[in-house]
Amino acid sequence: MRAVSLKAGKLALREVATPVPGPGQILVKTLACAICASDHHYMDRPDVSRADKSGMRVDAPDEDVVMGHEFCGEIVEYGPGTQQEWPVGSRVTSTPALLNGSQMRIIGMAPDAPGGFGEYFLVSEMLASPVPDHLPVERIALTDAMAVGWYYSRIGVGNAPEQGSVPLVIGLGAIGLSAVVALKHRGSGPIVAVDFSENRRRLALDLGADVVVDPKETSPWAEWRQTAWGSPEEVHDRIALFGRPTQVVYESVGRNGVLADVVDNCEIGARILSCGGAAEDVLHTTVAHMKGLNIQIGGGPMPPDWREMLDLIVTGAIDPSPLIGETVSLDELADAIERARSPEGPVRIVYTS
């Protein structure tokens, strides 16, 4: 089959072997697959994959690795030991995990778990979900990205947002924007959203943010205090915080140093959700200790969050279409993956077959 594969550190359109479904797996034809920053992290930091003792990611420089973990596809063939609940030709999507015997791989981050940046890929039947034919495949492909925001919003403010928690979303890529959408849907707010990009800030307002901040011009921390407390002044006295809204920070940038900056500048008692996935960071743990911070690093989405988001997209309660800035063909995909690095580019570029 034709696929954009990563080999010897180079990304190119190549002829690679069509995957063969193993026990419990389904061979799926790619209909749509979105480009994610996690694809860039996998490409750029093979040392992280080598250090991953879980085996979920594999650094395989001498083999073709077909990335792509946000997808919608069409069932082509079932592997042995499958229930074959849906007819061949049905549309499905899945959490980006592939079960290979007792080993679980992240789809698109190991040579034996090819992703959607090719003509065909594999999913595990027990993790797959059918999707209706009438929905645009690009929307379904964004389920995983939207589910990340859904998960972090649940962890940060709960299913029924408590009174007195005010979100601060830092970084308005797909994950930050998905957090804005999720927080708005849950009824949390006012939502303060931060990004250097004017286009991203404008999009955040369209998706439900109440206040947007350009950090070149205004301190996000002062703006949050103004929004939440009615004053931009920093409050040092813990006693003065009693009864004040809690700061819930969504760090969605994914670059080294940002989480440490959040720890240094956030309010006493803040809850911090590190959604961005920087490869490494150095935190001032004494500062975190003195402030009594609650820090969640990664961890989602969990399967229930993922399925809830899929239901929200299928029913039309949430529409991820505003995040889709461009669709490309397989021939254009390798170049699009590189262009997707730009913070001024489309939030999501989607390959469609």
Q: What is the pLDDT of residue 161?
A: 62
* Banded pLDDT at 316 (limits 50, 70, 90): very high
| Of the candidate ranges 80-89, 95-104, 212-221, the one whose mean pLDDT is the lowest | 95-104
Q: Where in the chain is the domain with CATH 3.40.50.720?
A: 145-297
DSSP state of 322: G
Average pLDDT, the chain: 91
| DSSP structure string for 27-39 | EEEEEEEE--HHH
pLDDT given for residue 237 in this prediction: 44
Which amino acid is it at 329? S
Q: Is 294 helix (H, G, I), strand (E, B) or coil?
A: strand
Q: What are phi and psi of 241, to 5 degrees?
A: -85, -15
Site of tokens 């707010």: 189
Task: Give the pLDDT confidence of 116-146 residue by residue, as tens digits.
Answer: 999 999 999 999 999 999 999 999 999 999 9
All CATH 3.90.180.10 domain ranges in the chain, comma separated: 2-142+320-352
- Selection from 196, 228, 222 nearest residue 210 by Cα: 228
Across the range 343-352, mean pLDDT stands at 93
Please classify residue 116 by burial: count the beta carbons closer than 10 Å to its beta carbon, then call 0-12 exposed, 13-18 middle and 19+ buried: buried
**128, 94 Cβ separation under 8 angstroms:** yes
Q: Is the dihedral of CA 322, 327, 333, 338 positive or negative?
A: negative
Residue 90's pLDDT is: 98
Q: What is the distance between the alpha carbons of residues 285 and 280, in angstroms, rounded to a whole number?
A: 15
Is the pLDDT score of 263 beyond 60? Answer: yes
pLDDT above 70 for 153: yes
Other CB atoms within 10 A of residue 347 CB: 26
**What pTM does this model have?**
0.92
Res 238 pLDDT > 50: no
Domain 2-142+320-352 sits in CATH at: 3.90.180.10
Write the pLDDT tens digit of every residue in 192-205: 999 999 999 999 99
- Report, at the CATH architecture level, how domain 145-297 is classified: 3-Layer(aba) Sandwich (3.40)
Strands 65-66 and 97-100, bridge-based pairing: unpaired
Q: Which pLDDT band, with edges at 50, 70 and 90, does 236 fall under? A: very low
* pLDDT per residue as tens digits for the range 30-58: 999 999 999 999 999 888 888 888 889 99
243 against 297, higher pLDDT: 297
Give the model's pLDDT for residue 352.
97
Helix (H, G, I), strand (E, B) or coil at 340: coil
| Distance in angstroms (rounded) separating the CA atoms of residues 26 and 35 | 22
Residue 171: name the closest of 248, 249, 251 by CA: 251
